[in-house]
Amino acid sequence: MIIQKNEYLPEYYNIENVKWETPDIYTINIKTKNPGHSGQFFMLSVPGTGEAAISVASGNGRDLSFTIRKIGSVTGKIYSSQKIGVRGPYGKGWPWKDYDHIVAVAGGIGVPPIRSLLEELMDAGRNRDVSIIYGARTPSDLVYKDRFEEWSRCVDLTITVDRGDEKWGGNTGFVTEFIGRKNFSKDTAIFIIGPPLMMKNSVAEAIKSGIREENIFLSLERRMECGIGVCGHCNVGEYYVCEDGPIFRYTDVKDKPELFL
């Protein structure tokens, strides 16, 4: 008799290390041979607490990383747990193989799926035609600061903050301001992830800059809760983000009133 594995039961892994990116954002690593792809997510759990849908921040076939903001009961306990439950990966990844020129725009804690995208592109030798625009509220809110120099050697990297401080010597302004400064071809694809208003304004700026609507892709991961299409929290029109996404082509969802809520 063949016993099939219940995909809704987690496997348990030891946390290899915890790195604090900011006072309330941390990155964890586990050892696994099932890393998933950029744009996908896993369900992470702490026994007796619950689950949270967390996107892949890095996966190379041996290590799987998640970057997490400490905001709830689950995310507030993962970093201090020796072992966590993991199930997945779930969802669609970024369709980067379909496009020659890619612009990825991330705001705030939306940057982990862009980090994993960048790593996949670099591994595939797709460095020359990649632009990354990443913004945060303040310099202290930026994550992966220790990787910026390496990334800037490989791709066209723009880092910006909404408000600088006396030590900040970089760009100041919203990410949307920098989309319009790039040179796009009609076949450029843009991948966007971040807070709803930032995504809405980024879409408008991308269209204004000449990117075709069908080449705009959004990650709606922030809407997810249960991860298995039960709670309905992630509903966007007839779609469930956890089952049909979290990556969506803009033209498929642009008329849904819930899109940027």
| Residue 6 falls inside a structural domain | no
| Residue 19 and residue 105 in one domain | no
Residues 6+ apart with CB under 8 A from 89: 34, 35, 36, 37, 40, 41, 42, 56
Does residue 122 sit in helix, strand or coil? helix
pLDDT tens column, 134-192: 999 999 999 999 999 999 999 999 999 999 999 999 999 999 999 988 888 878 999 99
Question: Do 50 and 113 fall within a single domain?
Answer: no
Tell me what percent of the residues of the chain surpass a pLDDT of 70. Answer: 95
Among 129, 67, 135, residue whose Cα is nearest residue 96:
129
Length of the chain in residues, anyone? 261
Q: Is 261 contained in some domain? A: no
Question: Dihedral of CA 79/85/88/91: which sign?
Answer: negative
Structural domain count, the chain: 2
The answer to whether residues 17 and 143 belong to one domain is no
* 227, pLDDT greater than 90: no
> 11: helix, coil or strand?
strand
pLDDT of 22 strictly over 80? yes
What's this model's pTM, rounded to 2 decimal places? 0.94
User: Is 118 a residue whose pLDDT tops 70?
Assistant: yes
1, part of any domain: no
pLDDT attached to residue 201: 97
The verdict on 133 and 65 lying in the same domain is: no
Measured in whole angstroms, how far is the alpha carbon of residue 76 from the centre of its chain? 19
> Within this chain, do residues 31 and 56 fall inside the same structural domain, yes or no?
yes
Amino acid at 20: W
Q: Is residue 1 over pLDDT 60?
A: no
Q: Is the pLDDT of residue 60 over 70?
A: no
Give the residue among 187, 177, 215, 213 at the shortest CA–CA distance from 129.
Answer: 187
- The stretches of 140-191 forming alpha helices (DSSP H) are 148-154, 175-179
CA–centroid distance for 52 within its chain:
15
d(CA 105, CA 92): 18
- pLDDT (tens digit, 9 = 90+) per residue, 28-37? 999 987 778 8
pLDDT score at 231? 77
170 and 106 within one domain? yes
Domain range for 137 is 96-253
Question: In whole numbers, what is the pLDDT of the chain averaged over residues?
Answer: 91
- We report the CATH number of the domain holding residue 47 as 2.40.30.10
